[in-house]
Amino acid sequence: MTESILFTGISGALGQLITHKLHNKVHIIGIDKRPFSAKPANVELHDLDLRRKSAIQLLSKKKIDCIIHIGVIRGDRPRRENSAASYFNLETTTQVLRLAEQLGVRKFIFLSSSYLYGPSGHTAGFLSEDSPLHGAASIPDQGDLVALDIMVQSFFLEATKYRDCHFASRPHCGAAPQ
């Protein structure tokens, strides 16, 4: 039987990229309020608000082996313009975690951020996965993202947190690139 993945935030750029890589290997059940114009025909897409009981009831009837949860509001601009973003993030992630528990989902992949975890001027040397999160201290608007990271970590024995890094090259330290 084909593995089935519930994928929140499927219509974003990262979601679409991952979907196009996986759709011929697994059954994908996508959740997003945004359109997905290049959606492969074999991908199931639902326009659902995961904070609603009806959405959870619909999904609880599905066979789900893995959840990829990237449907979280990130970045400064949308969060500052919409103060409800923090509540949306916490409520949605709580519902997805409860659904995972209810269905006995064995794998949970969550998009975190290196901003919450990575090195800063106050850390020395290499950091391990057990290093404390410090994003809320350095970026106060992102306290809910720290809470989500901790919630996922404490909820699952087998959770994978993908911490994206936006700086892949050597910094120029104020000098013009060569």
Domain segments of the chain: what residues? 4-162
Q: What is the mean pLDDT of residues 47-66?
A: 92
Closest listed residue to residue 95, CA positions, set 56, 131, 140: 56
Query: pLDDT-derived band of residue 143, with 50, 70 and 90 as boundaries?
Result: low
- Count of beta carbons in the 10 Å neighbourhood of residue 37: 7
Amino acid at 1: M
pLDDT value at residue 173: 42
* Residue 178 scores a pLDDT above 50: no
pLDDT tens column, 150-164 = 677 777 656 665 555
Tokens, residue 118: 């990575």
Is CATH 3.20.20.70 the right assignment for the domain spanning 4-162?
no
Question: Rounded CA gap, 151 and 57, in Å?
Answer: 22
Q: Quote the pLDDT of residue 160.
A: 62
- How far is the C-alpha of 137 from the C-alpha of 160, rounded, in Å? 24
**Per-residue pLDDT band at 68 (split at 50, 70, 90):** very high
pLDDT at 71 over 60: yes
DSSP result, 126-163: ---TTSPP-HHHH-GGGHHHHHHHHHHHHH-SSEEEEE
Q: What values do phi and psi take at 36, rounded to 5?
A: -130, 85
| Predicted structure pTM score | 0.73
